[in-house]
Structure formats: C-alpha cells, structure tokens
Amino acid sequence: MRFTTLYFLFFFALVYVVFWIIPRRFRPYLIFVASLGFYAAWSWQFAVHLLLVLLVNYLALIRLLGRPRRSTLALIVLLNVVNLVFFKYFYFILGTASQAVGVIGPERLDAWLEHNLGVSHIVLPLAISFYTFQLIALQVDAYRGKIPERPSIIEYLMFSLYFPHFVAGPIMRHSDFFYQLRNLKPDETRMLDGLLLVGAGLVKKVVIADNVDFVLKPVFANPGGYDWSTNLMAALGFAARIYCDFSGYTDIARGSSKMLGLDIPENFKAPFLSASVGEFWNRWHVTLMMWLRDYVYIPLGGSRRSPARNYANLILTMALSGLWHGASFTFLLWGLWNGVFVSIEKLLGVRTEFEPGFIRDGFVSSVARLAFRFGGMVYAYLVFALGLILFNSQSLQSAMNMYGQIFFLRSGAEWPHTEYVFNIVAITLLFNIVQSRKQFHIPVGWKSYPVLGALGLVVLLLLGSFPPGTTDFIYFQF
Amino acid sequence: MEFLKNPFLVRPFIILGIVLGLDKLLLLQAVREYTTSYMHIEDHFYDTREDLLNHLKEHYTARKAAGEKLGLIFGTSRSGEFDSAEISKIAPKTYTYNFSAPQAGHSYHAYWLQRILEQNIRPDFVLLESDPITLSPNANRFPIKHSLDISFLLKHIDFDSDASPWRNGGGFSTEHFERFLLSRMFAAYRFPVDLRAAARNRESHIMPVGPGIQMVTGLEIRRAMLAQMKEASIRNLGGIPNPHALELPENLMNRDAETMASLHLPRPYHTGRAQTRLFREMLEGLARESIPTVVFWPPVVSRFREIMRETGAQDMARSGTTEIIERLGKDYPKAKLRFVEADSKGMQCRIFFDSIHIAGKCYPELTKLLLKEIQSDL
C-alpha cells in the first residue's frame, strides 16, 4: 500500500479515528494490528515470516537485557544477517560464484525452485534491509546496556512494525521511540505540523518525482541513444528525483506519525546545500548514515587508528552502504565512489563547510565565502548525481555507456526536456532551502483553517494536474 | 474519548471537507471554461452519450415497429465520423447510433453495450473498432475518468492475474479502481486545472466560418463545438460526419506517427487486461445472440503500421482477435462475426488528418467496405 494511494488515505483515516477514540492503553495494540495489516496487504506469507523474525529477536532481546552475553549477541546478529543475505544477496552471491567457479547459476536455481517448490524465484521481502538494521541496532544497544527499561512485547512490536516508518525508514533507535509510547496524547501543534508534512510529501513525491521519472527513464534505458548533455541532465535530474521521492516519503511518514502523536526522526537535512561530499553524507539519509557510523565505522576503529586505516574504514563503510541499497556490483561501486570522495576530502583536509583557511582568516569578503560555498554545492551535487548513474543503471555496462557519453561529449538524439529538468532541479534546491530553515508552524486555533484550507486546495490542484502515477517509492525496494 | 476533550483532532476532516467542497466548484461548466483549455473537450463527448442512450430508448420501439433495423457503432474518435444517413444508403431501412468517444477502449464499448442491452434493446448489427490502440492499457484512461460505474468495475475485477485475458482472465486492477474513485471524489483529478487556460481561452484565433474566415476566441470555439456535439447526439445519432479532406503534410506525418505510438502503444507492447477481457466478452455476447458484427481495424498511415509491426503490437492484437473469432465461431455456429483490416482491403481514399485519423471525406468508402461484410445478414 503506497502512501500516495487513495487506499492509504482510507486506511490512515480509519486508524486515526479509532486511535483517538479508544483508551490510551489500547493504542499500541491498534498500531500493531494496523501495521501488520499494512504489511500483510503486500504479502501475508511474508507477514508471518516477519512475525517469526520479530519474535525470535524479542526472545534474544530479553536475554540480552537480563544477561548481556557476547555469544547471544553474535547469534542473533548472525541470524538477522543470514535472513537478510538469503533473501537479498543470494542471487548476487550465486551469480558471482557461478561466473567465478562455474557452480549452479541463478537460472538453474530458479528452474529447480519452479519444478520442486512451485515458486519461480526467491522474492525480496518488503523493507527487509530497514527492519534488519533496526533490529541489529536494538540488540547491540541492549548488549551495550543502553536500554534502561525492558520494553513490553507490544511496545517492542509497535516499535518494530510501526507502519509510517516501517517500509522505508527512517531507521529508528529505541531512544527515538520507546519514551514516547508511554505518553501518547494529542498535541495540536504536532498534528498541524503533521498535516503540513503530509501535504509537502505528496507534492514532492507525486508532482515532482513521479512526473520527472517518465522523462528520465528512456535516457537511463538507452544512454547511447542520447547526446552527452542529455545524459548529464538526466543524471542531474535523477538526483533531484531521488531526493523528492525519498524525502517526500519521509515527510509523509513523519507527518502521519505526528498526527498519531509520535515523532519519528528526520532523514534529510537539506543535503543539496552541502558544500562537500562529506557534508552531504551527514545530511542525506541521516538515520542510515548514523547507523553505519555507530555500528560499522566506529567498531572498525573509526578515525582512532592510522590515517590509512581511517580511509579504509571510510571506504569500507560507504561500500557497505552501497551494498545495503542493492545486491549488485553497480551498488557496490556506487558505495565505493562515495567512499573515495569522502576519503579524498578528508585527506585534503576539506572541512565540512568547504572553506579554505584564508577566507576564515578574513582575507576576502563574505561574497567570496558565498562563492566558495556555492562552488562547493555545485561540486557536491555533481559528484552525487554522477555517482547515481551507477545507482540507477540496469547494468554496469549501461552505466559505463552513460559515463562514456558524458565524458567523451558524444553526440546522440536531441531531448526536449532539458528546460523541464532544469526547473525540477531548481525546485528541488528550493525544497532544500526550506528544509534548512527553522520549521514553519501553522498557527494553532481557528487561524489554522484559512492557512490549511488554502494549502490543502493548492496541494489538491497540483495533485489533480499531476496525478499519482504507479511508480513505487525508490526506497521500497531496499 | 480524545475527540471530545481535544476537538482539534477533528480538524483534518473539517479541512478535508472544506477542500472537497471548493474542489466541487470545478465541476461547474462556468468554472471549467476558465480552468480547462478550449482544445480539451474530450470529456464532453462522454457526457453526451447519456443523452444518446435516452434518445435511443425513446425511439427504439416505434422504429422497430416500423421495420427499421438498429445498428450500433463502438469506437474511438476514429469512428466518430460514421454517419447513420450514409449507412442507410448502403443498408436501407436501418438507423445507426454512434457511441464512439475519443480514446475510448473496449471497457467503454462493453459498458455502453451492456447498458443498451439492459434496456431490452437488441441491435441488428454492430461495427466495433478494435486494433492495438483500443486494446492497449492506455485506452482505459478516459473511460475510467469520465464514464463507467462502480458496479461495472466490480463486476469485472481481475481476480486471477495469471489467467490469460484472451481466454478466461483479465479485468480491472486495483489501480483502475483507485483511479475511478479518485475521479469521482476529486473534481481536480477529473478536470485538472490548467492555469494558462483562462488566458488562452480568451485569445482570438482564425477560423473558417461559412465561406470566409473569422476571428473567434477559444471560448467561442469551445462553445460552438459543444453545441455541435449536443446537436450531433440528436440529429446524427452520435456521429459527427464531415466532408473535410484536410491532410497533414508528409514531412510531419512520420513524426506524428511516432508521437501517436508513444501515446497509445506501451513498449514493450502488451494489451490491457481489462480491455482484452471486455473485448472478448463483448464478442462472446454478440456471437451468442447471432448479431452481425464487423470487428475492424481502422486505416492508419504506413509509418504507424510499421511501428505496430516493429513493436509486435500488430501480431499480438491480430492473432488474439482472430483466435477469439475462430473459437466463438466453433462455440456458436450461428455467430456472425467478421474481422476486417481496412488497410488490407485496398481503400482508394487515403487522405489522413493525422497518422491515425483518416479524413472525413474517406468515410463513405470505408462505410461501404465494412458493411459489405455483413450485407447478406441484414
């Protein structure tokens, strides 16, 4: 059930009404049932699988909270990783092994599955990457003694399954959530903020992301057919698209959660205003990057070891982030691409704000500072957009084809959408500027009616003119 | 009960109510004249079909008693020019209602045929336009937005996505159902607001009026076309015949063919599951009732035909159609189904308004060609 469908509107309206009608103590149960139904609407078989995964994890959690043993932690982390690897990386591993040493290839495995089990292939369960990382974090934190109180099973299930964030994050920590569950009460400001976020998310996803997708798709499908400038614009456009898609999803998730009285963390902090790649990755998909920092980068030694080890840790962490997104060499290379840029910046001493020392020392005016910042923003956007060619290409060959078109200034078919894509990039930057400002609040009380009415009408007219398409959120596949 | 203690919790519903109320203003014709472009009047065709059905109901009994035979035409804008008067010249003592509408696929055709049959009206012959365009999933867009009803959709839901729509599967998906609900709930979805329309509709354009030309505003063109459409429902029984021989220049025709293909033919080509199922069911009903029926592929320019061939659309639609007709011929020995590809019949008149629309002037020849197939049954 996509957030942009009418079905979700009906579903959410029902949950919202029942949630605020029933006594407080029953609300977590309602959320649990609704969340399970939300997931089962995609696949009831995987809903059962998910419940089993959650129950096994709960048993381990209770054990870790009682007696934090390394072996218990290792076992439950291993189980979660095996679950993820089986569903997400099995074909990737098998395909690679098949090419390397000639074992049974994925096609033969599918034929075997079809013949013996009646299923054509191993299906990737929705949200498996998100819930696996969230569960691992919970277990590690329990082992580290960071969870002060043992959550009840219903609190745990609500935390794990909570439908606004379950499918595509944000990846939550216990510290983000558990404390709110015991104080579930309505708050007018929060609810109005929620409405605003839902509206903003719908515009980002439906009006921008879904519509630009139709323009970009043909170029990514056949980069060799278009000239270099078209390929470059398509890459720049896809950066805007993925931001609007994912940030739009997060806005709807946060907004609907706020309407139920619960805050979930923001995933984006105006990433396109970053002046370096390092800064960009501190502002993009924040909850994933924090997870990788706390549970991969720091345990690997972080920046406490030698510089060479530090760079290796950075590159390895970013490579893992690439693989988390998808099981293919293109995603792995995408992660490496980002890791290499972050490491080079670190090596060159580029600070977060990308300002050379002489500016800080007051040699040049604030205009120069602004120019450097702007230059840094262009650089960070370009690096991100060019990296996304790996992320969004069907194959490595297709990605190389696109790079070839761009870097060798090759000719090809004309594209009538350059201006449109340019406008989309500009609008996306505007969204980032809005995101960087202090949050805008709708006035409470009767004053909220004209503001919300006007905003609601604008959103409806935009959605009418750019109707919801059938594209899924990009991050649903992870 | 938090709603009583915190009345602000009701606010999202009040806001939604206010927005929905304002949204309904877009349904008013006076508002639509300023929010939709004068060039986009396709939806009005769909509105007039209700009048057409009422007209048919009113006259059917009397005309039947007078020994006249009823013909029905179902198609897209490419069948809009078929004329009842022209048909009666070839098949005397007939009168033909034209239920064609722009971009109307078989879901729309099946819907109107069902509604006509529900009135105990039995057609004596049917002309049914069908080709890769009407069978494509894209041909569902307009009918879902502007026609059909909820019971029709529910009756034809696609429960088994593995079953072949050419044989026993197919139907409307949950996405179709959602689009239907969206268009019924939100006028902004059904009639999207074009912010430039208000200005454009007031601009003047050169138009041929009578023997000369005249400057008329977009709004005047729109009103004139709507009046013509309404009149056609009564006078021409739904058809809008015209003698025009306007032709798109050769150099633009190929480009138009590419544009039309990108609009109407999904790539890789596949037929819509709802369109295919309803096409099959329509033919089955017509075969069972032994109603003489011509399923015809309208003429298109050679470049468009080439694209249909290259994309596999031609083979897929042709083999599916032929197979159904042959199967129904065996299941119902009294079936009178004919399949005609107009382009393979050597039409002399080859003037095209655009790559998929043959000019009004060619319709008499096309009409003759199609009716020849069932003349002995009439």
Q: What pLDDT, on the 0 to 100 scale, is given for residue A284? A: 94
Please say if the pLDDT value at position A360 is more than 70: no
Q: What is the mean pLDDT of residues B335-353?
A: 88
pLDDT grade for A357, boundaries at 50, 70 and 90: low
Instruction: Write the residue in B18, B178, B193 that is nearest to A464 by C-beta.
Output: B193
Please say if the pLDDT value at position B248 is more than 80: no
Q: Answer yes or no: do B188 and A16 touch at CB < 8 A.
A: no
**pLDDT > 90 fraction of chain A, expressed in percent and rounded:** 53
Looking at chain B, which residue has its C-alpha nearest residue A452?
Answer: B15
A457 and B CB contact within 8 Å: yes
Render pLDDT for A276-287 as a digit per residue (tens, 0 to 9): 999 999 999 999
Q: What pLDDT, on the 0 to 100 scale, is given for residue A470? A: 54
Render pLDDT for A428-452 as a digit per residue (tens, 0 to 9): 999 999 888 876 778 888 888 888 8
Please say if the pLDDT value at position A359 is more than 80: no
Name the H helices within A209-363: 211-221, 228-259, 277-283, 286-292, 307-325, 329-348, 357-360
Instruction: Write the residue in A188, A192, A453 that is nearest to B19 by C-beta.
Output: A453
Looking at chain B, which residue has its C-alpha nearest residue A261?
Answer: B9
Q: Among the options A121, A325, A417, A441, which is catalytic?
A: A325
Please say if the pLDDT value at position A365 is more than 70: no
Q: Answer yes or no: do B178 and A188 touch at CB < 8 A.
A: no
A186 and B CB contact within 8 Å: yes
Q: Let me know if residue B49 belongs to a domain.
A: yes
Q: What pLDDT, on the 0 to 100 scale, is given for residue A405? A: 93
The alpha carbon of residue A270 and the mean position of all alpha carbons in its chain are separated, in whole angstroms, by 14
Q: Let me know if residue B134 belongs to a domain.
A: yes
Q: Give CA–CA dist A121/A112, Å, rounded.
A: 9
Q: What is the mean pLDDT of residues A300-308?
A: 82
Structural domain boundaries enclosing B77: 39-139+226-377
Residue A115 is which amino acid?
Answer: H
Is A285 an annotated catalytic residue?
no
Q: What pLDDT, on the 0 to 100 scale, is given for residue A248? A: 94
Q: What pLDDT, on the 0 to 100 scale, is given for residue A364? A: 61
A416 and B CB contact within 8 Å: no
* CATH number of the domain encompassing residue B260: 3.40.50.1110
Mutation for B interface: A20, A30, A203, most B CBs within 10 A: A20
pLDDT grade for A319, boundaries at 50, 70 and 90: very high
Lowest model confidence (mean pLDDT) among A279-283, B208-212, B348-352: B208-212
Across chain A, mean pLDDT equals 87
Q: Answer yes or no: do A460 and B6 touch at CB < 8 A.
A: no
Counting Cβ atoms within 10 Å, is residue A242 exposed (0-12), middle (13-18) or buried (19+)? buried
A6 and B CB contact within 8 Å: yes
Lowest model confidence (mean pLDDT) among A52-61, A166-175, A466-475, B15-24: A466-475
Nearest CA among B79, B149, B73 for reference residue B115: B149
**Strand ranges inside chain B, DSSP E:** 69-74, 94-98, 125-129, 204-209, 212-217, 293-297, 337-341
8-state DSSP, A293? I
Distance from CA of B188 to the nearest CA of A (A): 5
Interface pTM, i.e. ipTM: 0.80
Looking at chain B, which residue has its C-alpha nearest residue A460?
Answer: B188
Looking at chain A, which residue has its C-alpha nearest residue B180?
Answer: A6
- What are the chain B neighbours of A5 within 8 Å (beta carbons)? 178
Q: Give CA–CA dist A162/A306, Å, rounded.
A: 41
Render pLDDT for A6-24 as a digit per residue (tens, 0 to 9): 899 999 999 999 999 999 8
Q: Answer yes or no: do A467 and B18 touch at CB < 8 A.
A: no
Render pLDDT for A69-121 as a digit per residue (tens, 0 to 9): 999 999 999 999 999 998 888 888 877 877 777 666 667 777 776 766 666 77
Distance from CA of A141 to the nearest CA of B (A): 35
Q: Are A217 and A392 in contact (CB under 8 A)?
A: no
Instruction: Write the residue in B3, B11, B23 that is nearest to A460 by C-beta.
Output: B23
Lowest model confidence (mean pLDDT) among A84-88, A455-459, B14-18, B203-207: B203-207
pLDDT grade for B205, boundaries at 50, 70 and 90: confident
Lowest model confidence (mean pLDDT) among A128-142, A226-240, A456-470, B1-15: A456-470
Residue B71 dihedral angles phi and psi, to the nearest 5°: -110, 150
Find the largest Cα–Cα distance for chain A.
74
Give kind and range of the element (H or E) at residue A42: none
Q: What is the mean pLDDT of residues A284-294?
A: 93
Q: What is the mean pLDDT of residues B258-271?
A: 88
Q: What pLDDT, on the 0 to 100 scale, is given for residue B210? A: 59
Q: Give CA–CA dist B199/B217, Å, rounded.
A: 10
Please say if the pLDDT value at position A174 is more than 90: no
**B110-115 long-range Cβ contacts below 8 angstroms, 24+ apart:** B110/B278, B110/B279, B110/B281, B110/B282, B111/B143, B111/B147, B111/B148, B111/B149, B111/B152, B112/B49, B112/B53, B112/B74, B112/B147, B113/B72, B113/B74, B113/B282, B113/B285, B114/B152, B115/B53
Mutation for A interface: B1, B8, B40, B193, most A CBs within 10 A: B8
Q: What is the mean pLDDT of residues B218-244?
A: 81
Lowest model confidence (mean pLDDT) among A211-215, B223-227, B361-365: B223-227
Please say if the pLDDT value at position B78 is more than 70: yes
Q: Give CA–CA dist B317/B301, Å, rounded.
A: 18
Q: Give CA–CA dist A467/B193, Å, rounded.
A: 12
Domain-wise residue ranges, chain A: 6-184, 190-275+353-477
A1 and B CB contact within 8 Å: no
Across chain B, mean pLDDT equals 89
Q: What is the mean pLDDT of residues A289-306?
A: 88
- What are the chain A neighbours of B23 within 8 Å (beta carbons)? 457, 460
Give me the half-sphere count of Cα atoms (radius 13 Å) on the Cβ side of residue B6.
16
Mutation for B interface: A444, A452, A460, A466, most B CBs within 10 A: A460
Name the 3-class secondary structure at A395. Answer: coil
Looking at chain A, which residue has its C-alpha nearest residue B174?
Answer: A7
Mutation for A interface: B3, B6, B19, B180, most A CBs within 10 A: B19
- What are the chain B neighbours of A114 within 8 Å (beta carbons)? none
Q: What pLDDT, on the 0 to 100 scale, is given for residue B38? A: 81
Q: What is the mean pLDDT of residues B226-230?
A: 80
What are B's interface residues with A at a Cβ cutoff of 8 A?
Answer: 1-3, 6, 8-9, 11-16, 18-19, 22-23, 174-175, 178, 181-182, 185-194
Q: Are strands B69-74 and B94-98 parallel, antiparallel or unpaired?
A: parallel
Please say if the pLDDT value at position A55 is more than 80: yes
